């Protein structure tokens, strides 16, 4: 019997087309562009939990579903485990995405941050807390790992 988390699936929760229409209407630019654009803006996205292996292609597909725009136009790049850099068409679009802060669905949760020292330092503790609780749960369920010994699990 599945436990209801109250979260929708990605396909139900994602509002990519609606967000892309808002950005186009507001800033007269697409969310992202496949060709290099003057004034492109970079952001960070960090995954707190997920049910899939985190690869750049999966992150790009997720961003496309959530924000709209072609999958290949986000130019996703791995920064460190669970943290990715991506680009959007302009600063205004970047700040609209930053205002979203987070997105949660059954498959994963992610957090948007600005690409600067503050953004990177903010994401570290979020991921550390996630790994701590995952380690505690794993230890309790397996009765053989202590909290301090629990190793982070990949997606």
Domain coverage including residue 98 = 14-116
The answer to the question of residue 61 being in a domain is: yes
The answer to the question of residue 107 being in a domain is: yes
Q: At which residue do the structure tokens 């292609």 appear?
A: 57
The answer to the question of residue 149 being in a domain is: no
CATH code for the domain of 19: 3.30.70
The answer to the question of residue 47 being in a domain is: yes
The answer to the question of residue 147 being in a domain is: no
pLDDT tens across the length of the chain (155 residues): 344 567 888 888 889 999 999 999 999 999 998 777 678 899 999 998 887 789 999 999 999 999 999 999 999 999 888 889 999 999 999 999 999 999 999 999 999 999 876 555 555 555 554 444 444 443 343 333 333 333 343 43
- Residue 56: CB atoms within 10 Å: 15
Q: What is the DSSP string of 74-117?
A: G--EEEETTEEEEEES-HHHHHHHHHH-EEE-SSEEEEEEESSH
Query: Could you tell me if 139 and 146 are in contact, meaning their C-beta atoms sit under 8 angstroms apart?
Result: yes
Query: Could you tell me if 107 and 77 are in contact, meaning their C-beta atoms sit under 8 angstroms apart?
Result: no
The answer to the question of residue 74 being in a domain is: yes
Q: Give the DSSP H/E element, type plus range, for residue 47.
A: strand 41-50
The answer to the question of residue 133 being in a domain is: no
**What pTM did the predictor assign?**
0.72
- Residue 132: CB atoms within 10 Å: 14
Count of domains forming the chain: 1
The answer to the question of residue 152 being in a domain is: no
Q: How far is Cα 125 from Cα 120, in angstroms, rounded to an integer?
A: 10
Q: What is the DSSP letter of 119?
A: H
Q: How far is Cα 85 from Cα 75, in angstroms, rounded to an integer?
A: 8
């Amino acid at each position: 019997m599945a436990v209801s988390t109250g979260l929708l699936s990605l396909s139900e929760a994602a509002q990519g087309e609606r967000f892309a229409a808002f950005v186009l209407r507001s800033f007269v630019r697409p969310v992202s562009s496949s060709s290099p654009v003057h004034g492109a803006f970079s952001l960070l996205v960090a995954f707190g939990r997920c049910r899939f292996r985190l690869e750049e292609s999966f992150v790009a597909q997720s961003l496309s579903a959530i924000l709209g725009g072609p999958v290949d136009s986000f130019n996703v790049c791995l920064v460190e485990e669970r943290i990715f850099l991506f680009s959007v068409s302009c600063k205004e679009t970047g700040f609209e995405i930053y205002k979203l802060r987070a997105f949660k669905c059954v498959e994963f949760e992610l957090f948007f941050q600005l690409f600067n020292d503050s953004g990177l330092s903010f994401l570290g503790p979020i991921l550390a807390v996630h790994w701590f609780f995952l380690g505690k749960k794993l230890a309790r369920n397996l009765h053989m790992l202590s909290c301090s010994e629990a190793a982070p699990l990949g997606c």
